[in-house]
Structures are given as structure tokens and as C-alpha cells.
């Protein structure tokens, strides 16, 4: 059996996005995936990224709640190592309305060379249910390698 391996990189100020990353890791492990690392975007573990088939990148929505929403930490995400040949999935945590945050995050991650297979916005007060949904969708969208 081929075991898919994921690395999870998060940008987090008050901990929600980090918690979401840890929940995603636990859920993926329950589904039989390997986790090569869970680390902050600003302290990326190079080996974890290198060894992963899928790199999961999460951040939080910053804005004025009804306008100006954007992924926080795009500069740090843009500075991640190139990820050519890897799949990627994205998530953002939010309080009210993520607007186009995921689109902007996906663009940045695509620019690193990864193929983005999808992303989910996770409400900060529903992280257990929304991270389960993220993992279910990820598994449904990742082609299993022969």
C-alpha cells in the first residue's frame, strides 16, 4: 500500500490556525497518511517539505471583517522553498467572512510551483467539524499514486 505523506505549515497569531493544522494532522493520520512535520511558515522544516507528497499551507483571514480580507503572512508564504512536483492544499481560519482569501492564498502557493488541489475556509469556532471536512475533501481530491 502506498502511504501518502503530508507536511503542514501554518501562520498563526492567536493559535487557531495552528490548532487547525494539528487537527488536520491527527485526522490524516487516522486515515492512514504519514505526517512529515507540522511547523510554522516562518520556521519551515525543509526535510518535512522535501519528504511530503502534499504540502498543506494554512493562514488566517486579516481585514476589516467586511472589506479588505486577505491571507495574513503572504510575504512569508512567498518566501517558502520552491515546491515543484508537489501537490498542495490550503486553508484559512476566519471569524466572520473569508471573502477571497483562499483564492489569494492559492495564487501564492501556485507561484511556489505546487499544484493546488483545493482549499477550505475553516470557521474558528467550528474547527473540529471543519478540519474533518477539509481532510475528507483532500482525500477525495488527491490522486493515489501507484
**Interface residues toward ligand FMN, by CB under 6 A:** 12-18, 60-65, 69, 93-98, 124
Which stretches within 1-146 are classed as H helix?
16-30, 46-51, 74-78, 101-111, 127-141
The nearest distance, CB 22 to ligand FMN, in angstroms, is 11
The nearest distance, CB 53 to ligand FMN, in angstroms, is 25
Question: Could you give the CA distance from residue 136 to residue 45 in angstroms, rounded to a whole number?
Answer: 25
The nearest distance, CB 139 to ligand FMN, in angstroms, is 24
Q: Which is nearer to ligand FMN, 4 or 99 (CB)?
A: 99
Residues near 145 by beta carbon (within 8 Å), at least 6 away in sequence: 2, 4, 53
The nearest distance, CB 94 to ligand FMN, in angstroms, is 4
Residues near 108 by beta carbon (within 8 Å), at least 6 away in sequence: 71, 74, 77, 78
Q: Which is nearer to ligand FMN, 13 or 46 (CB)?
A: 13
Q: Which is nearer to ligand FMN, 33 or 72 (CB)?
A: 72
Amino acid at each position: 500500500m502506498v502511504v501518502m505523506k503530508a507536511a503542514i505549515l501554518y501562520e498563526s497569531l492567536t493559535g487557531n490556525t495552528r490548532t487547525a493544522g494539528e487537527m488536520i494532522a491527527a485526522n490524516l493520520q487516522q486515515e492512514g497518511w504519514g505526517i512529515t512535520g507540522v511547523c510554522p511558515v516562518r520556521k519551515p522544516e525543509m526535510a518535512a517539505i522535501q519528504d511530503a507528497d502534499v504540502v498543506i499551507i494554512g493562514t488566517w483571514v486579516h481585514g476589516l471583517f467586511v472589506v479588505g480580507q486577505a491571507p495574513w503572512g503572504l510575504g512569508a508564504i512567498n518566501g517558502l522553498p520552491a515546491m515543484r512536483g508537489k501537490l498542495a492544499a490550503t486553508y484559512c481560519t476566519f471569524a466572520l467572512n473569508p471573502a477571497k482569501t483562499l483564492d489569494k492564498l492559492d495564487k501564492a502557493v501556485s507561484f511556489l510551483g505546487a499544484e493546488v488541489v483545493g482549499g477550505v475556509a475553516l470557521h474558528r469556532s467550528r474547527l473540529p467539524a471543519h478540519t474533518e471536512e477539509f481532510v475528507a475533501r483532500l482525500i477525495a481530491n488527491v490522486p493515489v499514486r501507484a
